[in-house]
Structure 1
Amino acid sequence: MEKEEALNKAFEMIAIGGDAKGCAYEALEAAEVGDFDKAERLLESAEGSLVAAHAIQTEFITLAARGEDIPLDMIFVHAQDHLMCAIEAESLITHLVAMEKRLWGLEHRGAGA
């Protein structure tokens, strides 16, 4: 893999990871006001972005496993860090949205009666 191609893919991982993380945090905001349909859509979008970023990561790993030269630098390290943070955020926020949904149900039980 040429250095320019590796850099482009690393920047793509950064961008996609950022999109995923942004969707996850938007999902949490939606859940906090009771819009759970929107929260679920946003979490699905985040998951789709993470799958795309993971595919790029897997491409790098596959090339490395084949013994091919991969030009790695701080941009790639940043891309890996960005992706891992996005994965962690999406995972944690998925659980927070579920908790928010349970709390919302408890707080609003019988409110219309």
Structure 2
Amino acid sequence: MDDALTKQAMNIILFAGDARVNCKNALIAVEKNDFELAKKEMKNARKNITEAHKIQTEVIQSEMGEEAKLQPHSLLFTHAQDTLMTIYSEINLANHLIKISERINERLVLLEKEQE
């Protein structure tokens, strides 16, 4: 594996890892009913996962076209792709959990107002 592919794989892992941290922070914010912070963290998670995905796309596209250069199999790049897709799934799930939690919280607030 060449140095460029190693660097690209590591950058995918780093951006995806940052996205995972953002996602986790968003869910912690939801536990505290801080939906604004959760949305901010999810925005950062999407930004980071998009950067990771761009790098992956560049690598894949480099193997196509007129100047195609087939890369040798790289366990590190495979790990990077796995990490990217796993965290992408976590982000999708967290987005749904945040929406559900926000709706539940809105209903609870309305019920509490009715109780007063």
2:58 and 2:40 map into 1 onto residues whose CA distance is 28
Larger of the two Rg values belongs to structure: 2
Where do 5+ consecutive residues of structure 2 fail to align? Answer: none
Deviation at 1:111, TM superposition (A): 2.8
Number of the residue aligned with 1:75? 76
AA at the equivalent of 2:104 = L
The range that moved more, 63-72 or 11-20, is 63-72
- Does the 8 Å CA contact 1:46/1:90 hold for their aligned counterparts? yes
Number of the residue aligned with 2:47? 48
Number of the residue aligned with 1:61? 60
State the TM-score, normalizing by the size of structure 1.
0.91
User: Which deviations, in whole Å up to 9, do the C-alpha atoms of 1:28-85 show, x marking residues without a partner?
Assistant: 1111211000000000000000111111011011111233132331101100000001
Deviation at 1:109, TM superposition (A): 1.9
State the TM-score, normalizing by the size of structure 2.
0.89
1:61 and 1:89 map into 2 onto residues whose CA distance is 23
| RCO comparison, higher one (Cα < 8 Å, 6+) | 1
- Does the 8 Å CA contact 1:17/1:53 hold for their aligned counterparts? yes
Look up the SS of the partner of 1:85 in the other structure: helix
What is the RMSD of the two structures over their aligned residues, measured on CA atoms?
1.4
Task: Name the % identity.
Answer: 29
Where do 5+ consecutive residues of structure 1 fail to align? Answer: none
Number of the residue aligned with 1:106? 107
Corresponding residue pairs, total: 112
